[in-house]
Amino acid sequence: MPGAVSIAALTVLFHNAPDAIVRTVRSFDNAVRVGIEDGVCSHFVLAFGDASPEPLLTDDGIEHLQSIAPHLDVVYEYFAENTGTSKGQNRLSRLTQSDFVLLCNPDVVPDARAPWRMAAVFDDPQVGLVEAKQLPVEHPKDYDPETGFTSWGSGAFSMVRRSIFEEVGGFDEDTFFLYCDDVDLSWRIREAGYDVCIQPAAVVFHDKELSGSGGWVPTEAERYYSAEAALLLAHKWSRDDIVDGILAAFAVSEEAHHHRAADEFERRRDAGELVVRRDPNHSVGRFIDGNYARHRYAL
């Protein structure tokens, strides 16, 4: 990686435990320390956007976080509304300046060299977004083992060249609240002619609750917003067949969140609130067996 780069890590808080926020800050500060020592980091901002009903951090709390993170700048913005990830990270991106934006969840702890191994991939000017490898459960989507090329990068921990993030308009906050915003962003980056890659040498711990069999255990909110987003993504990327299939499945489902998601989609459609459609030739968006990429294994 030629020279040192600046990075703004953007993460949206919602009812997060104070000790988890401290853990995040300490882990990033350690990564920045390593980046400075290796000569690859010129400046690093860790920006928190708080979408909780009440502020999670006081002025003293912010000062404490900065005191334990001497190698980076901590930015905190209380949104006074539940923005979701799309709107929240768009707002944080406008509050910061950097060569790259690092889109991340507040429950992700990076290896000290993860950001710099991701940044090195951008030596190729064709690369627009790079995703890290998540542990203890690696995301099952397929990628080219030689190039790292993949369909989309997870917003849990992905780095984007800021100029490209701004070129494509950031997240589609008018459509997506919590899920599929990262899929949509990745597809628009690929649509603009850039590559989306996974860097398996960049490792992060994603602190998700797992079942006894090792699978993810989604919350009720995650179940609802993922169902809603599935419909919105299929509509936006011109797949009426997928929309019809999801609506038919939801109509006979015994899950209340499926019916709520279908009702909200149909309300938006009837009110003319759905986004302008794109990719009519289906050359970018990938809908494979209910996923947005071919998967290497079931999860």
Does 108 map to a domain? yes
Domain limits for position 54: 5-206
Does 178 map to a domain? yes
- DSSP E strand boundaries for the chain: 5-13, 41-50, 73-78, 100-104, 108-110, 127-135, 157-161, 195-206
Does 266 map to a domain? no
Closest CA to 90 of 184, 220, 221, 4: 184
Does 226 map to a domain? no
What CATH number has the domain bearing residue 33? 3.90.550.60
pTM beyond 0.85: the answer is yes
Does 20 map to a domain? yes
Give the DSSP letter of residue 100: E
Does 211 map to a domain? no
Does 241 map to a domain? no
Q: How many domains does the chain have?
A: 1
Measured between alpha carbons, how far is 285 from 299 in angstroms, rounded to an integer?
21
Going residue by residue through the chain, which has 299 residues, state the pLDDT in tens, using 9 for 90 and above. Answer: 457 999 999 999 999 999 999 999 999 999 999 999 999 999 999 999 999 999 999 999 999 999 999 999 999 999 999 999 999 999 999 999 999 999 999 989 999 999 999 999 999 999 999 999 999 888 999 999 999 999 999 999 999 999 999 999 999 999 999 899 999 999 999 999 999 999 999 999 987 665 555 555 677 888 999 999 999 999 999 999 999 999 999 999 999 999 999 999 999 999 999 999 999 999 999 999 999 999 998 87
Question: What 3-state DSSP class applies to 258?
Answer: helix
Does 281 map to a domain? no
Token code pair at residue 5? 């780069």
